[in-house]
Structures are given as structure tokens and as C-alpha cells.
Structure 1
Amino acid sequence: MQKAGMSVPWSMHRNTCVCLRQNGSGIMQIRELRAEDVPAVARIEAEVFSEPWTERDFFEMVEADYAHYYVAEEAGEIIGYCGLRNMAGEGEITNVAVAPLFRRKGTGRRLMEYLLKKAPSCGIGDCTLEVRAGNSKAISLYESLGFRTEGIRPGFYAKPREDALIMWKRQEEQG
């Protein structure tokens, strides 16, 4: 099935999304994070972020009723993940990461599209996230998905010191 505005065929079945890669290199599956995925997710987290979450943090998200975390898997390997927390009906997107070897292949976009599609069924309306002000690739992705910068947290990130942009995707803009 081809979704409007998307360049790659994908289909959703129950709690899984199956996507064909743009270059035809393989099939990526997006599904809920499970406890056995946590070590791989924590490894990617440590590779990607200067202040990474721990395995314990991710195990807590697996168990939390208010948390909704998803992984991208290709050929049995976890290649990315994302998650959000339901905070009184608003979605706080806490983590979005793709393993370095799998970047620039649409993985992050697919994860975010899936997350945003699932949000209403999780009781979530508006969604927010924070991103480093200098992370232009992530900012471009989020803007292309309908997020808009609504605030700045000066010096929010410590390693290295950098401002955070606060971005929102309002429910009336979700599609």
C-alpha cells in the first residue's frame, strides 16, 4: 500500500509496520520495543548521544504503561528506535536514534511516521520533542513531519553545551 506523501511502500498490520527500503536493499520492520531488545537499543543510544540513557532507563520504559517505544529491525538486527511518553494526553518524544551505518536511508523518518500514526490510539494529541539547536538534519526531518519550533531551552545540553529547540506538532496539524 502506498501512503500519500510517502515515497516508499509500507503497510501496517496490528502493531507492526513493514517497509521496503528506498534502494530496495531490504525490508525493515517497525514494532514495539521488547525487553530482549534493550541491550541493542542501549548500544545505539551510547553510539549516538553524548549523554545516553542506560539499559535500566529503557527497561523502565518497556514496563511503563504511559510509554510507547518502537524499534526498527532489519534482518533480525535492531537498527533504530524511538519512543514517546503520554504526559496527560500530550506526547513527549524522548528518544529518536538510528545506528550510524543505517542513517540517511529513511529509517528515522519511518520511525517517526509510525510513532505519530500510533499516538492517537495511545490517547495522545499534541506531540513535543527537544532537539539540539545545531542538529540541522534532525530539525529538517521534524519540520518535514509538521513540527514547529515554539521555544528554546538555553544551555540545555551539557556535553557539549548547547541550546535545545522545543518543537511541537499540534493535533490539528497531524495527518
Structure 2
Amino acid sequence: MTIKPGDKIPAATVYEMGSDGPGSVTTAELFNGKTVVLFGIPGAFTPTCSASHLPGFVKFSEQIKAKGVDDIVCFAVNDAFVMGAWGKDQGTAGKVRMIADGSAELTKKMGLELDLTGKGLGLRCDRFAMVVKDGVVQSIDREAPGAFEVSSAEAQLSKL
């Protein structure tokens, strides 16, 4: 079942690259007591994700945070090393947290998996964006296959 407004973000452990290497982060640490814009992408360094999705959140991070958002989180079924390298490449420091769900634990629990094995990419996260307040989903916008409209930074900014 796909997560929906009113649902609590499931308990899971994800990873974030730190100065000493990958570190684990629980969903409670990410979401409890905060307002978070979480957006999911099929993969780091992929065309739409690198040219539009992540850059939009970097560009509009100040405006989004000015609307009361504590954190903007980019989320993918990649490892923390890849997410860390992609974050450096995209200039996300202080703007967007790069969170890795390498085993797709949280992705599966939220029902947001995207099976791209037929294209040689394995199990990934679907493209989406959601607003989460104190661990509870306020809104979720999941893209149609191949689309990039409702999960953009601009679309999320207009909801806040």
C-alpha cells in the first residue's frame, strides 16, 4: 500500500554521508518535531534528477525554508557514497540533505518502489515529493511514469 496523507512515516534506518563516512539516520531523527519536504528520485546522476529535480530544490531552498520548512531531503535507492558525491557535484551543502536508502527498506515500506530491472537499473524509488510534519505525511505528489511536474521544487513551494 502506498503511503498517503495522514500516514506516519514508517520506522526505518537510512544513511547519510558525513565527514567520517556513511552514518545511519533513523526516520524518527529525520522527521520527528520538524517540517520536512522529502523528495524521491529514481537515481543519482540520472538525467532528469541531475538536470531538473535536485537543482530545483537547491535553487529554491531558501524560499522553501522561509515557509517554515526545517529540512529538504533528497531520497534515493543509492548508497551513501553515491549520494554524497552527487550532493557535492550539485552544491547541496546547507541546502538539501542527501539520504540513501541503499536496500530500499524505507522505499518499500512507503510503497514507493519503482521496478526498473527491465532497463538494467534494478529496484529504485519512484519520483515523488511530500511534505511531512512531525513524522506525518501532509501531502504527497507522485509522478506518472516518465513525468516531472508535480514533484518539482516549484510545485512544492506553491503548496507551502
> What TM-score do you get using the length of structure 2 for normalisation?
0.30
Q: More strand per residue: 1 or 2? A: 1
Larger radius of gyration: 1
The higher-RCO structure (CA 8 Å, 6+ apart) is 2
